[in-house]
Structure 1
Amino acid sequence: MKTKSTKVVHVSKVYLLAGIVSLFGVVSCDSSGGSNGPTGPDIPEGAIAISSVEELQKIGKADKFPLDGEYVIVEDIQADPTSDWNDGSGFEPIGSGRKPFTGTLDGNGHIIYDININREDASGVALISSIKNAKLRNVILKSVDVKGSDGVGGLAGFSCSSEITRCKVNGSVVGTQKGNNNSGVGGLIGYSGSPTACYGESIIDSSSTSVTVKGIEKVGGLVGWNAENSEIHSSSTSGNVIGDKSVGGIAGANMTIGFTPNPPLIKKSFTDATISGKKNVGGLAGFQRSKALISKSYSESKVSGENNVGGVVGKITFDARVKNSFSDGKIGGVNNVGGLVGQASDSRIGDSYSASEVSGEGSVGGIIGLISGSNETNEPSISDVYWDIEVMSRQGESRVPIGLTTDQMTGESAKNMLLDFQDTWKTVKDDYPALQWEE
């Protein structure tokens, strides 16, 4: 029997995803073969150079620093003095909900250190309060300390019809969520997407966080609430994610309020974090519904909670989907605890597996803790889903396909599983299958 100590693939690639060499290392060239932006003092014609935290704070406040401007950071910025600004409230977030940032900010690979924001009663709290039709790229924030109410993030509080590419956040993000909005708390973005105000897609691509995120509801390592018209690609998280309800490594909630032609998506992303909460807690998403999709993604996280705790998703419902994904972490809870999903109803789960250690008291399973549904029409559809019976010896729901031994799921023998080894998966010597996009 193989053991966890034989795992040789997944740990080594945590900081190699999509050109991310390390959280604060060199940012690689983009797919076009060019550089990620100007270097040194050279900036595009018409762009505005930012070389200090004082200049950063002028955006949206001075005529020469408009909210629709094109900005390039031209050197590392030390923002530690912001802890004493505004009577201790710190840096004032750029823009607002009514006046969002609509321009371009290129971090140019430079680091902004020690941004401090202490506004526990305010919403839209982050380096940038709200973005719309904006482009943020190569922005690196290290040792942030952000406190707000809701819509709280390291980089942006709210994102609408915007592109966020190769951005990184390290530090602490806390949402008190004192109001009734509960629009999300995330390491990168508090809330991404909108049912009414966003008519174009919001894209988060090749971005990462190494953060401690704390909140109450819709708390995520990357995004608090990933809503309609919002997609997350090739991104990763590590650190600690802590909340009460809907807590996840990538997104606390991956969901829409109603059905929409543009449901949210998480694709080619992974987590290696410690995630804890009370209800609906998952390695990738805490709560997922309304055709939202997780695809070609995985979690190696330690996930713990009370009810509805899963290696990939805590609770999934209303035709939401998980496919081509896996969990290889440690999952613990009280009720409804599963290697992939804690509780599932009216959803689709396929072409996936779990090698996670799973423990709990009531409704505990290698794949799904509890299958719910009053009839066959709203029970989940489960196909080509597997778990390691030597890691997790029991499956609470007999309707889930039977498990396999470690030997049957590793190396070339993994082809016993009816996974797509042509276009999606690849076998790994002495290890579980990996997704083909993994390094």
Structure 2
Amino acid sequence: MLLTWWVLQEGTFFMAPRYHFLLFGWVYLLQGVILAYLFNFQKPYLQNSGFSLEQIAAISSILVLPFVLKVAFGYLSDRYSFFGWGHRKPYIFIGLAVCALGFVIHSFLPPAQYGYYSIAFVFFAVMGMALFDTAVDGLAIELNRDDKLYGRIQSAMISGRALGIILGSVLFGASIDGLGYRGLQLQVAAILLVSLPLVRFFEETEGPQQRLDVSRSVLLESIQFLRKPEFLLVSAYLFLSLICSYGISGLITLYGKTSLSLPASAFGTLGGLKGAGQMVGALFVGYFIAKSRSYAMAIFAVLALAVMSALLGIASSQAELNALTAAWGVTRGMHHTLLSVVSMSLIPPGAGATLFALLMLLSNVAIMVTEGMSTALLTVLSYESVFAVLSAFSAASALVLWLSRRYLKPKVGG
């Protein structure tokens, strides 16, 4: 895709197969389309279907569970190859197909009528998303061990996801009045299904680093990795910062609907602005990471995220909410790009999918907790207070990064 080419064109693009980068950009764009629906339309849909805030909080937590299981998916991808397609391609293909099937079935089982039976197929779809996400991460880790390239790979991926959020939000916002929520779900499924040929004809190749013999050593590598101080510190950084990032992201449209009485069509605008901001933030990091210090940029990003998260809670009009959402998206795009750079810089080659998923385990637990906690807090606190509480977690993650400078600065740059 053109966005991926633009980010990587300065010589780096030609250091790896072009099709790999096309795959990275496109699969993350698909992820963005899915997130555009889940973050901007799923909660209002459930609320319209008669679910209480407490029920929506519980459902939101459960839907993150597949990402907690990414360690198992990573081990399968590192250990087993299917159909002669390699270690990553079959899992990307199967994950996309499973995700599409889940959305199709869910669309014909309205939650208002079928209750949790309908929600089970959203869970099924998210399971597929977690599977293909794990495999793509493993492929990216094996591609190259250069931190500057990682920064640009992650910039391309997160920019692609942000572009998917923009396109999905605009498409869904424009079509919801005519097609309803079922139409949105079928649109997601159709976009996933037409993407399968891109994966089918992709030829997987080994990265420049020799793959570990995962049948004997991946578990040992994982145990050793768990004991490293940098693993514990980065896990704390991920855990705290993502509580803010995902907690706020899941509340913006709900805040607009409840406090500002925005129509459903406005959710698409908010999602598009959020995605546009994230793309700008990711591209900013991709451009400046070769000239700046990743470690210092990561601290700045989480502090900026904390400030913008707190400000969102005091938006008093649609115009203010739109402007703050776009600015918040910029800080979130910077944060997620740098978070991946810091994380991937710690991973040894060979069993990348397993170890990266292991590192992300606590962050995914944080997301699962946050999806329920942030919505549940609204039953006892105002939106302004909830946004302030969540922003404090991001500020705390900056302190963790600063305290961990002894271990991380040599790896990600001072």
TM-score by length of 1: 0.21
The structure with the largest alpha-carbon Rg is: 1
Structure with more strand by fraction: 1
TM-score by length of 2: 0.22
